[in-house]
């Protein structure tokens, strides 16, 4: 027997996913706010409400099957909203702000000034182990993530907040959630690191994981990006060796030019080591190339256009397949497919 769950259904549950086109001619329109997205003429409200109510009532009475589907969707939206609220509350209660401690897998740093601290989000325990050995424990923290995190673009909100890896990131960072109405009101006053570095393998899977993480940050932790706290690490792809001469390179063109330079016009052998993952590097190599502030290259994540970023994330990570297929077909020739 199914357990009955009681909770309030709000107007937002009915309006979720609803799109309506209404043509209204007003002699002297007045708009609310600087963005002018809402008509403020009070005399229009009654006429529009009455017209929409009459037409919607007529449509639902004439189409009972569609009415049932709408009711089912409203119930689903209300259920998801209620579950999301509970999940958000659970994240808040278990956050570092409530004194419940940090995630078990987090290897924290000893420095307590957030401006001097940085955290590396790495994929898997193997890379995490190497990063923990190679880091500077004074100011660098490591949080290993288990495989590919949830694609938040395709997930309902309560599933996002119930995800263990995402809850660990919230707790490790020390941020608290914004309101249900506005996710952008993220509280970062207790943010524990001013450099949040995504460090994944330099291959296709690593790029996918980095994209999943950036999708999560854009949708739920955008404030961190807007404040310039999010970075992407750039581990090398190759290690070239000729005797005692060892050099790193980050792409194929760089590799080929360095090989020619190391040969010096002679017919000598240069050993090429391709790194398939961070776990293949030893701690010293990872520190020298990717984590040492004196020599590493970090790419800061910025948002030039929020609208364009929203469109791209929706296209690449959402449920709508045709636009993504068209994008892949148009850009396939530029891709570096890692065999």
Q: Please identify every residue annotated as catalytic.
A: 123, 201, 203, 205
**121: nearest Cα among 315, 312, 313, 298:** 298
**228: nearest Cα among 291, 150, 326, 299:** 299
The number of CA neighbours under 13 Å toward the Cβ of 85 is: 10
Residue 101's region, left for phi above 0, alpha for psi from -120 to 50, else beta, is left
**218: nearest Cα among 163, 152, 161, 171:** 152
- Where do runs of H (alpha helix) occur along the chain? 11-15, 42-62, 64-93, 124-134, 157-162, 164-173, 204-220, 222-226, 252-263, 283-286, 306-317, 321-331
């Amino acid at each position: 027997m199914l357990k009955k769950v009681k909770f309030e259904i709000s107007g937002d549950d009915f309006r979720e996913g609803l799109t309506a086109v209404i043509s209204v001619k007003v002699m002297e329109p007045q708009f609310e706010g600087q963005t002018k997205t809402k008509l403020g003429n009070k005399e229009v409200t009654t006429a529009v409400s009455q017209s929409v109510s009459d037409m919607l009532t007529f449509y639902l009475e004439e189409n009972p099957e569609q009415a049932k589907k709408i009711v089912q969707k409203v119930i689903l939206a209300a259920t998801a909203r209620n579950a999301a609220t509970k999940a958000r509350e659970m994240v808040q209660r278990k956050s570092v702000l409530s004194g419940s401690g940090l995630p078990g897998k987090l290897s924290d740093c000893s420095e307590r000034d957030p401006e001097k601290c940085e955290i590396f989000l790495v994929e898997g325990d193997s890379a995490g182990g190497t990063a923990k050995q190679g880091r500077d424990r004074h100011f660098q923290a490591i949080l290993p993530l288990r495989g590919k995190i949830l694609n938040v673009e395709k997930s309902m909100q309560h599933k996002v907040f119930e995800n263990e890896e995402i809850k660990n990131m919230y707790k490790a960072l020390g941020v608290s959630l914004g309101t249900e109405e506005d996710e952008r009101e993220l509280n970062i006053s207790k943010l524990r690191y001013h450099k949040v570095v995504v460090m994944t393998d330099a291959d296709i899977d690593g790029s996918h994981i980095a994209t999943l993480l950036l999708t999560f940050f854009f949708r739920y932790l955008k404030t961190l990006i807007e404040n310039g706290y999010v970075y992407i690490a750039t581990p090398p792809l190759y290690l070239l060796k000729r005797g005692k001469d060892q050099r790193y390179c980050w792409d194929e063109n760089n590799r080929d030019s360095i090989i020619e330079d190391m040969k010096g016009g002679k017919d000598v052998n240069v050993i090429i080591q391709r790194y398939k993952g961070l776990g293949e590097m030893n701690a010293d190599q990872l520190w020298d190339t990717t984590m040492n502030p004196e020599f590493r290259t970090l790419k800061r994540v910025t948002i030039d256009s929020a609208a364009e970023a929203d469109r791209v994330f929706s296209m690449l990570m959402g449920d709508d397949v045709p636009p993504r297929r068209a994008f892949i077909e148009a850009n396939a020739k530029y891709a570096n497919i890692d065999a």
